[in-house]
């Protein structure tokens, strides 16, 4: 079945550091890929998405590129801020009428001033 | 449209009681999902609907859990004979599921505490 694997966490960075959070997936066909973010005390929010190979999703300085050859969708940001501290989830939904949204386990990012 | 709405936001119940949660999706969305999330874990799939049809229910889900979406609009999730292990955040999400499966939008969740 479909699955998403995220790197182990938590991750702690200093402000303005470069961020990479790894995500790989297993799915049939050509899934749509997503990063969701959960800020402390808040609900899940869509951060960015990509729907086909080589697409780059971007939002709030975050980027992720859909790499079909490596089945990956790594999240990057060039300079993190304290306000980026949150839990980040990689997710996919496969093609097909009966596909459901599948999440990775999430990774906690803490950014210190 | 104000997004996905869940009610109540918090529920405290005694073990053995039944509870029911409601989710109102974004109005034009035909897909509705229920997930459960515990502290430090990712959302765990429970079930989902395409319009009023329940397409899948997690095999890990006890038969104490049941969900409905009677007219393809709002949905309810009922837990019968609650147990302490049911304590979690219950999340509802909706999306447009057509030829291209689009992103899901989540509500704020219902936090259940079973005492």
pLDDT of residue B114: 97
pLDDT band at B94 (very low <50, low <70, confident <90, very high): very high
For chain A, list residues with pLDDT below 50: none
Q: State yes or no: pLDDT of B99 exceeds 60.
A: no
Q: Which residue has the higher pLDDT, A29 or B8?
A: B8
| B101 with A94: Cβ contact below 8 A | yes
Q: What is the pLDDT of residues B47-63, one digit of tens each?
A: 999 899 998 899 878 89
Cβ pair A12, A112 in contact under 8 A: yes
pLDDT band at B98 (very low <50, low <70, confident <90, very high): low
pLDDT of residue A97: 65
Interface of A with B in 8-67 (CB under 8 A): 32, 34, 36, 42-46, 49, 51
Q: State yes or no: pLDDT of B112 exceeds 70.
A: yes
Give the pairing type, strands A86-93 and A101-103: antiparallel
| B41 with A105: Cβ contact below 8 A | yes
A3 contacts in chain B (CB < 8 Å) = none
């Amino acid at each position: 079945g479909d699955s998403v694997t995220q790197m182990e966490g938590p991750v702690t960075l200093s402000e303005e550091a470069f961020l990479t959070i790894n995500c790989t997936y297993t799915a049939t066909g050509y899934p749509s890929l997503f990063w969701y973010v959960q800020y402390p005390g808040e609900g899940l929010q869509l951060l960015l998405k990509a729907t086909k190979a080589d697409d780059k999703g971007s939002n709030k300085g975050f980027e992720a590129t859909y790499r079909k050859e490596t089945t990956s969708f790594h999240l990057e940001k060039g300079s993190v801020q304290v306000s980026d501290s949150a839990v980040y989830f990689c997710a996919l939904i496969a093609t097909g009428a009966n596909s459901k949204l599948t999440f990775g386990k999430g990774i906690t990012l803490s950014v210190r001033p | 449209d104000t997004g996905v709405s869940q009610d109540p936001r918090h529920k405290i119940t005694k073990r053995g009681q039944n509870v029911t949660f409601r989710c109102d999706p974004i109005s034009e969305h035909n897909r509705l999902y229920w997930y459960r999330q515990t502290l430090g874990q990712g959302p765990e799939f429970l079930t989902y609907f395409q319009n009023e049809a329940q397409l899948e229910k997690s095999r890990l889900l006890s038969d104490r859990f049941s969900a409905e979406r009677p007219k393809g609009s709002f949905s309810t999730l009922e837990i019968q004979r609650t147990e302490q292990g049911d304590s979690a955040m219950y999340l509802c999400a909706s999306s447009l599921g057509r030829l291209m499966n689009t992103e899901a939008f989540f509500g704020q969740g219902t936090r259940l505490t079973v005492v």
